[in-house]
Amino acid sequence: MSALRLAVFDMDGTLLDSLPDLAECCREVLAQCHLPLLSDAQVRGMVGNGVQALVERALQAALEQKAEASGALPAMPLSTEEAVSRFMAAYTPRATRLSRLFPGAEEALRRLHAQGWLLAVCTNKPEKAARRILSDFNLTSLFASVGGGDSFAARKPDARHLLGTIAQAGGTPARSVMVGDMPPDYLAAQGAGCPFVFAAWGYGAPDLAHKVEAMSMQDVPAVLEQLIPA
């Protein structure tokens, strides 16, 4: 008997339109540092490599904006650790205040689950935040595994993050598919030997559009069925 099929989803930009809350929390940290505030569009291009990368990119962009206005590059106002701590203090209690599942996401997940697919999340977001989001949207029971950015010794694009999530879900790489919108998702899938589906509706990278593509979450069950038939 073949191993169960496993669909592994990235979270930000794939299952969840999280940009509004991420951007608001970035602006909160920047305001505390008396730095220029960034727009949602500016923050969008910074999402995908985890909280530390997001916060560092936001601070650097704001510092550069301030330097353009003043003619001198100011010093970094906070250590990376303190900036991340302040961001998470703002983000954790409000992770779903403005964020919403992408259209069709819940229906697609429930359809896959009903068809016998195992489901997992592999995200560079901290596991606690990812689990809180799934709970807020009443999706926890659908998922066999949640691999956060702090769940294993490595995180995407390192394949060990995806492989750990697959193992935790009870799947095998040969019968698993990674669905995501960013290069770290694709690179993790490539390293793990899994097919990759590009979430074209997300925050993604246009250079991934030549990969197996789904234009909306509604497309995902049919696309996955073609990649790994029952």
The residues carrying an active-site annotation are: 10
74 alpha-carbon distance from chain centroid = 31
Cα separation, 114 vs 92, whole angstroms? 31
User: How do 212-214 and 145-147 pair as beta strands?
Assistant: unpaired
- Which residue stretches of the chain are H helix? 19-32, 40-44, 51-70, 80-91, 105-114, 127-136, 159-169, 183-192, 220-227
Backbone angles phi, psi at 135, to 5 degrees: -65, -45
Q: Using CB atoms within 10 A of its CB, is residue 224 exposed (0-12), middle (13-18) or buried (19+)?
A: buried
User: How do 145-147 and 118-122 pair as beta strands?
Assistant: parallel
Cα separation, 63 vs 65, whole angstroms? 5
Is residue 172 within 8 Å of 3, Cβ to Cβ? Answer: yes
Cα separation, 202 vs 215, whole angstroms? 9
Cα separation, 27 vs 208, whole angstroms? 29
